[in-house]
Structure formats: C-alpha cells, structure tokens
Amino acid sequence: MKNILFIGLGHMGSSLVKGILSNENFKDNIFGHDAFKELQDKVVNSLDKMNALDSLDEIETKGIEVIVIGTRPDAVDGLCESLDKLDLKGKTIVSMANAVDIKRLESNFKNQKDLTIIRMMPNMNASLNQSVTALAHNNANKDKLKFVVDMFESCGIVEIIDEDKFGTLTAISGCLPSYVFTFFKAITDYAIEKGFEKDQAFRIVETAIIGSIKNGANSQVELREMVEQVCVPNGSTVEGQNVLDNEGFENIIKRCLQSAENKATPSK
C-alpha cells in the first residue's frame, strides 16, 4: 500500500482526489496539503478517506512515495526548492503545472538521486470520472509509471504522449471544458429565452450534444460529410449551418485552441 500526497487542493487537485477515492478498488492512502489551511481543511474534511499533511517535513515521516504537484505554475519552482531539502530518494513526482516542462522540474531538484518525474495534464471532469489525463515522462520506471496510470484511470482515461504535444493536449482537453460550457450555455440560454424551463433545456441539449459527439466519433463517415447529410436542402439545419460557415465558426475554434496552446507551451 502506497502513500500519495497531493500538494495544491484547488478545483483541479480536489477533483482528481474525489475521482480517485470514488474507485472502490483503490486501496492506497491519500494525503492532502495546501498552503491555505482553510482550503486544506475544507477538502480533507469533505472526503472520508483523505488525510491531512500539515507540513511538508512530514513527507519523510509519513513515508510518502508519490507527490502530485497541483499548485499554480508560478509557485512550482519555490515548492520544488523546498522539497529538494528533503530526502526524496526513490520517490515519484507528478506535476500538473501548466507550461512547466520536465526539464524545468528536474533543474529544481539538485540534491536528489533516483527521482522519477512525470508530467501530467488532466481536466476538471475528473470528479465525474470523465477526465482525459495525459502523461509524459523521461524513462520512468515501468512499475512506477503503471502505478500512476492506474491511479489516474480512476478519473477517466489516461493517454501517454510525447512531451512536445503537451501544449496541444492542454488546448484540446485541459482547456476544453470552458469552451464546451460556453457552447452549452449559448444553446441553453437560447432555449430558455424561447420559453423552455431550465431543467428541460439542459436535459434536451445535453442529450443532443453527447449523442452527436458519439455519433461522429463512431462513424466511418468524414465529419464534414455528416454535416452535409444533416443539412437537407432548404431545411432548417442548413439555414443555421450557413451562419456558422459564413461566420467562420471552425476557424474561430481553431484560433481559440491555438491561443490556448501558445500559452501552454514553455517559452524557449
């Protein structure tokens, strides 16, 4: 049985812990630590199977083996420097800090030997066990990598990718809930403005969106061809689709994703 520490218990960190602990087959111990004690207490007290770690010095005394860093990117260097004062031999560091690459993480651990560093990017759907969690590593031990993969599969699917794809992955997965919420909001707001009750509008649009995505993902037909199949000449669908096409909807989405990717890519 391993002891895992999550440092940083904001929305993403707490969502991951909630998703992991919802898996009845997960038997390892999870500790939580946050620089803001009130937030730490709130999260720890809300989850029966979670333990508090009040000081980073307890990493050694509690036998922590895996440390998941979920702090803001601008706090990562200072945190790593503090951790570097401890004996971390044989431990695994997993960082979800945006735009902080493995090379930068390694540079902060000057006093450590036999330290495994894994970079990750989840999304906020982890608490619903619907996250996409990407992992990148530099020659991580097979068993240590498998443990991390198995742990985060409690939150959804896990994809191991090359680190140079992390910026794109962040845009199409880590950031994506925000863009989907915006799309969802526009359609449900329209329905409510036209007289639908909120619950009914949400139910209808949720089902239509999920069904359409599954249909497109499982079809052997190209997506644009599927659009054309739905757009019956002189029908309602094609009238709306013409607005999307004329306004450059696909290009707007791609520009959105490129902007997010640029921000998620470490500067050279």
Annotation-wise, does 33 bind a ligand?
no
Q: Are strands 131-137 and 116-121 parallel, antiparallel or unpaired?
A: antiparallel
Q: Is 11 annotated as a binding residue?
A: yes
User: Is 105 a known ligand-binding residue?
Assistant: no
Signed CA dihedral, 90, 83, 174, 13: sign only: positive
> Is 10 within any annotated ligand binding site?
yes
Where do we find the tokens 């794809």?
165
Residue 137, H or E segment = strand 131-137
**Residue 12 assigned to a binding site:** yes
Q: How far apart are CA 164 and CA 136, in angstroms?
A: 9
**Alpha helix (H) residue ranges in the chain:** 11-21, 37-46, 58-61, 73-83, 102-107, 142-152, 166-169, 176-193, 198-218, 223-230, 236-246, 249-264
Binding residues for NADP(+): 7-12
Residues making up the annotated binding site are 7-12
